Amino acid sequence: MTGKRLWIGLIVTAMVAILVYVSYGMINVGKKETYHSVAVVLGDSSHDRWNAFKEGLEQGAEENHIHLNVVFTGVFQNQEEECAAIRRELENGAEGIIVQMTAEESPELFEKTVGETPTVLIENDMGLEDEYTTVAANQSEVGVAVAQSVLSGESGDIQGLRVGVLAGNQEMHSQRVCLESFLDAMEGSEAKIVWIRSEEEWDRDISAGLLAGDAEADVVVALDNNATECAIAFLQDNSDVSWRIYGEGRSEKAIYYLDKGSVRALVVPGGFYMGYKSAELMAQKLKLKTSGEKKGRAETHVDFLTVTRENLYDKNVEKILYPIAG
């Protein structure tokens, strides 16, 4: 009798298992999706300034059936080093590349590296916006916005105002555009540009101890996140310096010192949307690849906000700074 009950129990268990399996299969009929592997190559990829971008990227990837590999990188020393990182990802099976090119000595080298691989450029279009899909803030408008923040913040004391400029990575086309538009917007004001240094020049002169005279600036303008952090660090390390900093960026350090008052204004790009749109456009390019599309082109401009201590906790600002929490 006991054996018979055991036998019946096994049959019932097997039938339930079959029903569950069949039901699961019926529910998921037609739901099988193909995921594409996409590599993401960023300069200094673990820096917290990329947090919002990565959050948007991950959401866009999930919605568009993309498997992401955000490559762990430090600061690239040159274009060859970054292109070598891209080549490794392609050799490892990446079907698409989302990349922030931090140097562009040879556009031909970049084009040869990516070949016909679906590619999305972020932040820096390398001057190749007619050939590649790009997602970035309009750097000409960013430069103007930084200048306006200086003129507004120093409105009572513009005459004779001494302005130093940390121009960021001038190896990037986007940063050259930003610097040019900033200088154009400041032209005609009574402020005086007393020095301009690229990221490379700043690092060199810091090492050589050649910045004593530069401490005489009243205002320092920093045209990317790294430049903003460099200005903050110099201010911290030199108690006799009283710069007022106006910059671009969105790192935790930049926001902290904005709140403390050392940074007077920050132009903050919408990192979350940049990431989300990059994934969305990549998905479109991957789908079109089978129809013979080679490079294609779409240019998406990312919104940005000028953030000050006064509006730092406004809801619309918090949505840009902390998109998931907002």
Residue 19 predicted with pLDDT over 60: no
Question: What whole-number distance in Å separates Cα of residue 158 and Cα of residue 269?
Answer: 27
Q: Quick one: tokens of 137?
A: 């803030």
Residue 145 predicted with pLDDT over 90: yes
Residue 299 inside a domain? The answer is yes
**Are 176 and 242 members of one domain?**
yes
Q: How many domains does the chain have?
A: 2
Is residue 123 helix, strand or coil? coil
Give the residue numbers spanning the domain of 103: 36-137+271-303
Q: Of 269, 292, 319, at which residue does a domain stop?
A: 269
pLDDT (0 to 100) of residue 240: 86
Residue 8 predicted with pLDDT over 70: no
H or E stretch including 110?
helix 107-114
Question: What whole-number distance in Å separates Cα of residue 296 and Cα of residue 130?
Answer: 9
Question: What whole-number distance in Å separates Cα of residue 325 and Cα of residue 321?
Answer: 9
Q: Which of 42-46, 64-68, 294-298 has the lowest mean pLDDT?
A: 294-298
**Are 76 and 160 members of one domain?**
no
List pLDDT tens digits, range 218-242. 999 999 999 999 999 999 988 888 8
Residue 282's contacts (CB-CB under 8 Å, 6 or more residues apart) are 38, 64, 66, 96, 98, 118, 120
* Predicted TM-score (pTM) of this structure: 0.86
DSSP string, 216-259: G-SEEEE-SHHHHHHHHHHHHH-TT---EEEEE---HHHHHHHH
pLDDT (0 to 100) of residue 288: 86
**Mean pLDDT, residues 1-8 taken together:** 54
Is residue 171 helix, strand or coil? coil
DSSP string, 184-205: HHHTTSS-EEEEEE-HHHHHHH
Answer for the pair 275, 250: CB distance below 8 angstroms, yes or no: no
Q: How many CA atoms lie within 13 A of 56 on its CB side?
A: 25
Residue 186 predicted with pLDDT over 60: yes
List pLDDT tens digits, range 198-221. 999 998 887 666 665 556 799 999
pLDDT (0 to 100) of residue 5: 55
Partners of 96 in the beta sheet?
Answer: 38
pLDDT (0 to 100) of residue 290: 57
**Are 145 and 63 members of one domain?**
no
CATH number (domain holding residue 195): 3.40.50.2300
**Are 198 and 260 members of one domain?**
yes
Question: What whole-number distance in Å separates Cα of residue 69 and Cα of residue 27?
Answer: 30
* Res. 291 pLDDT band, cuts 50 70 90: low
For the stretch 176-215, what's the b/e string if a residue is b when 16 or more beta carbons lie within 10 angstroms of its beta carbon? bbbbebbbebbeebebebbbbbbbeebeeeeeeeebeebe
pLDDT (0 to 100) of residue 29: 47
Nearest Cα neighbor of 133 from 278, 311, 318 is 278
Question: What whole-number distance in Å separates Cα of residue 273 and Cα of residue 214?
Answer: 37
Partners of 135 in the beta sheet?
Answer: 122, 300
Residue 22 predicted with pLDDT over 50: no
Answer for the pair 101, 110: CB distance below 8 angstroms, yes or no: yes
Answer for the pair 167, 197: CB distance below 8 angstroms, yes or no: yes
Q: Are strands 244-248 and 263-269 parallel, antiparallel or unpaired?
A: parallel
Answer for the pair 70, 54: CB distance below 8 angstroms, yes or no: yes
**Are 151 and 167 members of one domain?**
yes
Residue 108 inside a domain? The answer is yes
Is residue 44 helix, strand or coil? coil
E strand spans, the chain: 36-41, 66-70, 96-99, 119-122, 133-136, 162-166, 192-197, 219-222, 244-248, 263-269, 299-301, 304-308
Residue 199 inside a domain? The answer is yes
Residue 102 inside a domain? The answer is yes
Question: What whole-number distance in Å separates Cα of residue 13 and Cα of residue 157?
Answer: 84
**Are 80 and 186 members of one domain?**
no
List pLDDT tens digits, range 115-130. 999 999 999 988 887 8
pLDDT (0 to 100) of residue 37: 96
pLDDT (0 to 100) of residue 196: 95
Residue 317 inside a domain? The answer is no
What is the chain's mean pLDDT, rounded?
A: 88
Question: What whole-number distance in Å separates Cα of residue 185 and Cα of residue 256?
Answer: 28
**Are 238 and 122 members of one domain?**
no
